[in-house]
Amino acid sequence: MSVADVKKNTEQKMGKSIETLKANLAKVRTGRAHTGLLDQVMVDYYGSPTGLSQVANLTLIDARTIGVQPYEKKMVAAVEKAIREADLGLNPATHGELIRVPMPPLTEERRKEMVKLVKSEAEDAKIAVRNIRREGNEGLKKLVKDKVASEDDERRGQDEIQKLTDKFVAEIDKLVGDKEKEVMTV
């Protein structure tokens, strides 16, 4: 284990925190339709819970409507029921074999709640990044204690880890700013 290993490990973990934040932000509903909203919907497919994308084709009909086309005609009712019961506040309507899922418009109050949720996700990501920074710095201290690295190496390593931390925190702020704008856009 060297200073470079500690730094690389720290950077990888911080990168994973950013990916997790991106995934969590994608779940936050804006006024626009996107098929990712239905990713968590599970359909009872012949007795076993199956992801919606595996039993139906998801498309955007327009900016506020998702189209869900089950691969099998028999699955239309089960898919509609799964979307309705997924607790997403969506009200699907069936037209023949196509299920239309209109996005209800967000109220101002609901938008503000979404922004709070986004900020909370961001704070969690920042805490994770700072915890990873602390782990990295502890790893450097251990290298000095084990006489693998000098105190100068430790100081340089800590500076580099701090720069990484600043970079990832700035990226979190940018992601959150973009999502806030998206949520508040009517």
CA angle 126, 128, 131 (to 5 degrees): 110
What is the residue-averaged pLDDT of the chain? 89
Rounded CA-CA distance 149/140 in Å is 8
Of 25-29, 57-61, 80-84, minimum mean pLDDT range: 25-29
- In the predicted model, is pLDDT for residue 18 greater than 90? yes
pLDDT single digits (tens) 101-116: 988 877 888 888 888 9
Tokens of 84: 């309705």
- In the predicted model, is pLDDT for residue 33 greater than 80? no
Q: What is the share, in percent, of the chain residues with pLDDT greater than 70?
A: 98
Rounded CA-CA distance 12/126 in Å is 15
- In the predicted model, is pLDDT for residue 8 greater than 90? yes
Q: What is the share, in percent, of the chain residues with pLDDT greater than 90?
A: 46
pTM for the model stands at 0.68
CB 175 within 8 A of CB 24: no
- 186: nearest Cα among 111, 119, 118, 117: 111
- In the predicted model, is pLDDT for residue 51 greater than 70? yes
CB 101 within 8 A of CB 83: yes
* AA letter at 60: L
Which has the higher per-residue pLDDT, 91 or 132?
132
pLDDT single digits (tens) 34-45: 777 787 889 988
DSSP classification of residue 73 = G
- In the predicted model, is pLDDT for residue 162 greater than 90? yes
Overall average pLDDT of the 148-163 stretch: 92
Q: What would the DSSP string read from start to end of 77-112?
A: HHHHHHHHTTSSS---EEETTEEEEEPPPPPHHHHH
Tokens of 11: 């950077």
Tokens of 57: 């084709």
Tokens of 56: 């139906």
Tell me, what's the pLDDT at 186?
65
How many CB atoms are located within 10 Å of the residue 72 CB? 13
Tell me, what's the pLDDT at 108?
85
CB 91 within 8 A of CB 100: no
For β-strands 98-102 and 65-70, DSSP reports them as: antiparallel
Most confident range (mean pLDDT) of 22-31, 34-43, 68-77 is: 68-77
